Structure 1
Amino acid sequence: MTSPTYATYLRLDELLALQVPLTPREQRDLSDSERLFIVVHQASETLLSQVLVDLRHLDAGPCGPACRAHRTDRAVRLIGALEGQLTLLRRTLRREDFLAFRDRFGTASGLQSEQFRELFALTARLTGNPDGDRSGALDAAVRRWRATHLDLVAHMLGDEPGTGATSGRRFLASRLENPPDAAPATT
């Protein structure tokens, strides 16, 4: 058996082939901006998958205090990285570019992310039974992410409707202040 290389271990050929903008290549600036949008969202879903690994472990209950502290801290830091990605997108994706390619992805919406729904459900479940200040840190991290997401949407859409048949910014603001009851997590 041969030892994997960096590229084969991370399956980079497959991973880097997944960014396929719908904007024609002839519109290079716009296509590159759409690619950035895709990269950030794919990276977010990948990081979120690790957050869920840790939160599912906590939810299953086999975790002692040191494990709980470690897994919670890691989840909080990963959510911070997700927040940083939204800030990056806010600062590097021009609003006019986003509005120009937005119609290409039709009704695709972050509302359709099973992973984010599970994050919100697990966070509600885990912080509903506080374990010191660490579970409060988890809830605070998710709230900061949601607030940063709202800021991004407000910047990109203004008062335009959202892609998921919502009112966009107003819809997200109402969910930030009054989160819906958490649905059961899917595993």
Structure 2
Amino acid sequence: MSGGTQGGPEDAPAPGAEHAAEQAYSDFRKNLSYGDYLRLDDLRAAHQPITDAHDEHLFIAIHHVSEVWLDLIVRELLAAMALLERGITDAPLKMLTRVVRAQEQLTNAWEVLKTMTPADYLQFRHAFGQASGFQSQSYRMVEFLLGNRNPTMLRPHAHRPDLHGPLVEALHGPSVYDLALRLLSERGFAIPDEVLQRDRTQKPELNEAVLQAWLEVYRNTEAYWDLYALAEKLVDVEDNFRRWRFNHLTTVSRTIGMKRGSGGTSGVGYLRSALDHVLFPELWEVRTRL
């Protein structure tokens, strides 16, 4: 630039840049377009508000997007768990990192929903009856895969075998943490049989022998680097899971106060109690004992 008034060579458009739009492919009579590939007509067709309330569009959009992220999280967790079951630790770290990034998007979605005031919500709240995020099969699957399990949570899906069946399988199968503990055992750590063969329908409880195994890993990170990295990635997952729950709690609190939730739960009370659930107890206690 000279005197801030004339453009130099660096300001000139690249040769042919002005014709880029004209050169883009535009004949999709026999080829797959962006909208066709993503089935955007189907996506938009699923967006069907029941009322004329302006904010119902926001409410549906946030929940649609959240379900897509949850489905991705389930897919990545299952893929990571399949590899951990085979004793592979490197590729699962990438998949769990993707889970963490998707969780961040889920948490940020609450910030958008918080722009809806209580008065806005009441304009359409009556329209969806007992429908509630409590009934999300994908969210429940995430909880089950992470080890937070309660057979009662299967009930809302009993009328849909296609949704109920995979949840039953996940309820009785190993969690991602169960597989991490199995890996510790296979590496020679003394993991008790009562832990490895525990009732998987119940949430895990802190076990001193398991804690001692993780302490050995954390005190010798160079020798057990992959196990250490896996442990820290699991902590990332639970950390973000807690943040999502907390944002859920505050969003519901500022929208409906202490009213009961649409699905029949106590609303804020139920969500507050969920904050106390610990998925990987030894990985949090290890910080105190180091």
TM-score range, shorter-chain basis? 0.7 to 0.9
- Aligned residue for 1:83? 107
Residue 63 (structure 1) shift: 7.2
Secondary structure at the counterpart of residue 123 of structure 2: helix
Whole-Å separation in 1 of the counterparts to 2:66 and 2:255: 18
Instruction: Determine if contact 1:83/1:148 at 8 Å carries over to the other structure.
Output: yes
Q: Letter of the aligned partner of 2:70 in structure 1?
A: L
| Alpha-carbon distance in structure 1 between the residues aligned to 2:126 and 2:87 | 45
- Greater relative contact order, per chain length (Cα 8 Å cut-off, separation 6+): 1
**Structure 2 counterpart SS, 1:35:** helix
Are positions 1:111 and 2:134 aligned together? Answer: yes
Q: Deviations over 1:91-110 (max 9, x none)?
A: x2222111221111100011
Distance (Å, rounded) in 2 between the aligned partners of 1:7 and 1:158: 41
Distance 1:63 1:44 in 2: 31
Q: Find 1:13's aligned residue among 41, 65, 69.
A: 41
Contact 1:76 1:141 in 2 (8 A): yes
Query: Contact conserved, 1:127 with 1:139, CA < 8 A, in 2?
Result: no
Q: Report the counterpart of residue 68 of structure 2 in structure 1.
A: 46
Paired amino acid for 1:17? A
Structure 2 unpaired stretches of 5+: 1-28, 148-174, 182-229, 280-290
TM-score scaled to structure 1, two decimals? 0.86
Cross-structure match for 2:256: 157
Partner amino acid for 2:239? A
Query: Normalising by structure 2, what TM-score?
Result: 0.56
Residue 56 of structure 2 is matched in structure 1 by: 34
Residues 9-29 of structure 1 show CA distances to partners (whole Å, capped at 9, x for unaligned) of 1011110111111114xxxxx
**Match for residue 66 of structure 1 among 87, 90, 93:** 90
Root-mean-square deviation (CA, aligned residues, Å) is: 1.9
Cα deviation code 1:17-42 (max 9, x no counterpart): 11111114xxxxx2x21011001101
Q: 1:179 and 1:88 mapped to 2: Cα distance?
A: 27
CA distance in 2, matches of 1:98, 1:23: 11
Report deviation, 1:7: 0.6
Q: Whole-Å Cα distance in 2 between the matches of residues 40 and 63 of structure 1?
A: 37
| Alpha-carbon displacement from aligned partner over 1:141-168 (angstroms, at most 9, x marks no partner) | 1111111111111111111111111111
| Bigger shift: residues 96-105 or 60-69 | 60-69
SS of corresponding position for 1:132: helix
Deviations 1:41-66 (A, max 9, x none): 01100111111100011222357333
Residue in 1 aligned with 2:176?
126
Mapped partners of 1:153, 1:5: distance in 2: 40
- Aligned counterparts of 1:38 and 1:109: Cα–Cα separation in 2: 12
Identity %: 32
Q: Which has the larger radius of gyration?
A: 2
Task: Decide whether the 8 Å contact of 2:81 with 2:92 is kept in 1.
Answer: no
Equivalent residue, structure 2, for 1:55:
77
Distance 1:146 1:19 in 2: 25
Higher helix content, 1 or 2? 1
> Equivalents in 1 of 2:276, 2:46: separation in Å?
35
CA gap 1:178/1:74 in 2 versus in 1, 3 angstroms: closer
